[in-house]
Amino acid sequence: MASLIGRDLLSLADLSASELQQLLELASQLKSKQLQVQCNKVLGLLFSKASTRTRVSFTVAMYQLGGQVIDLHPNVTQVSRGEPIEDTARVLDRYLDVLAIRTFAQQELETFAKYAKIPVINALTDLEHPCQILADLLTIQEKFGSLSGLTLTYVGDGNNVANSLMLGCALVGMNVRVAFPSGYAPDAEIVEKARAIANIHQTQVLLTHDPEIAAKDANVLYTDVWASMGQETEANNRFPVFQPYQISAQLLSFADPEAIVLHCLPAHRGEEITHEVIEGSQSRVWDQAENRLHAQKALLVSILGGE
């Protein structure tokens, strides 16, 4: 069993390659019920952004482990009235066993982690979305049996999902390609970090503006919305810029014939992905969504311990 007892997960880069592989194996065992674990702890959810999959999957995961969940929506806590993060973190530390935070700035997450002694989990920031990638890698592993040597192509905005995908794929020995319009590149520091990890495994992190080159013979095609939470006002301006980066049947034809299609959801059919593709035989989007539950359950068990 992977053991990350007492550790924070602020970035996928917080994990070693072996720790990530152990998490995926544990998630697989929990999903198949080969392993039964109880974890009678209390999880706090402090979400400043809307959430369906992350909120529900973390909640169900903790309940299935025998624990409890407290939803600490900022609007019903003193956070919304300006209480300093440092103060909130030190108070919640006295009540909870683990805290999952969904917010805008990565720095806010890091401040919570600095002042709270309990483990802090990144449930999404503008910079990274590590829990999503745990589910993505589990889904890919279920399809192909192993991850090493596969190629994942991400098409669209170089956002938090793209950033974490680069790190996650590099850690498990996958090639990763990111195709994006000019001006919408992934975070430069994360690109550099992912390439350093990829060099160890002799794999590639490729950035390009050409989606067809990126999709060529890929095992996985992946996309996300063109305007993330907090960018809604930019959506109309982004649409024409991103149109060539849509995952359509035509783009999918460039990938390996056995390729699968992933989307972290929510999806805007007709924008970043067509209805035909997301509902098609190569889509694994619903397995991917289910795997949020199993991957996060494994993460909670690893961080908190179980019996």
Task: Express each pLDDT in 80-132 by its tens digit.
Answer: 677 899 999 999 999 999 999 999 999 999 999 999 999 999 999 999 999 99
Amino acid 307: pLDDT: 75
Amino acid 78: pLDDT: 75
CATH code (residue 68) = 3.40.50.1370
Q: Quick check: 6 pLDDT over 60?
A: yes
Pairwise CA distance, residues 296 & 288, whole Å: 12
Range of the domain at 195: 132-288
Tens digit of each residue's pLDDT (9 = 90 or more) over 7-57: 999 999 999 999 999 999 999 999 999 999 999 999 999 999 999 999 999
With a CB cutoff of 8 Å and minimum separation 6, the contacts of 167 are 11, 12, 13, 128, 130, 133, 190, 193, 194, 197
Pairwise CA distance, residues 120 & 115, whole Å: 10
| pLDDT band, very low/low/confident/very high, at 170 (cuts 50, 70, 90) | very high
168, 283: one domain? yes
156, 272: one domain? yes
Residue 116 structure tokens: 């709270």
Active-site residues: which are they?
102, 129, 132, 224, 264, 292
Residue 2 lies in a domain: no
Residue 280 structure tokens: 């098609």
Pairwise CA distance, residues 254 & 2, whole Å: 37
Across 208-226, b (16+ Cβ under 10 Å) vs e yields: eeebeebbeebbbbbbbbb
97, 155: one domain? no
Residue 239 structure tokens: 């649409």
59, 151: one domain? no
Q: Is residue 183 left, alpha or beta, with left meaning phi > 0 and alpha meaning psi from -120 to 50?
A: left
* Number of domains, the chain: 2
With a CB cutoff of 8 Å and minimum separation 6, the contacts of 87 are none
Amino acid 155: pLDDT: 98
Amino acid 227: pLDDT: 82
Mean pLDDT for the chain overall: 95
Tens digit of each residue's pLDDT (9 = 90 or more) over 139-169: 999 999 999 999 999 999 999 999 999 999 9
**DSSP code of residue 274:** -
Q: Is residue 98 left, alpha or beta, with left meaning phi > 0 and alpha meaning psi from -120 to 50?
A: beta
Tens digit of each residue's pLDDT (9 = 90 or more) over 217-264: 999 999 999 987 666 677 778 899 999 999 999 999 999 999 999 999
The answer to whether residues 183 and 226 touch, using CB atoms and an 8 Å cutoff, is no
∠273-278-284 over CA atoms, to 5°?
125
Find, among 249, 238, 253, 256, the residue nearest to 275 by Cα: 249
245, 160: one domain? yes
64-78, 204-218, 250-264, range with the lowest pLDDT: 64-78
Q: Quick check: 1 pLDDT over 70?
A: no
Average pLDDT over residues 64-85: 86
pTM of the model: 0.96
94, 71: one domain? yes
The answer to whether residues 108 and 49 touch, using CB atoms and an 8 Å cutoff, is no
Amino acid 306: pLDDT: 82
281, 217: one domain? yes
209, 71: one domain? no
Across 50-77, b (16+ Cβ under 10 Å) vs e yields: ebebbbebbbebbebbebebeebeeeee
192, 160: one domain? yes
Residue 6 lies in a domain: no
Amino acid 264: pLDDT: 98
Rg over alpha carbons for the chain, rounded to the nearest Å, is: 19
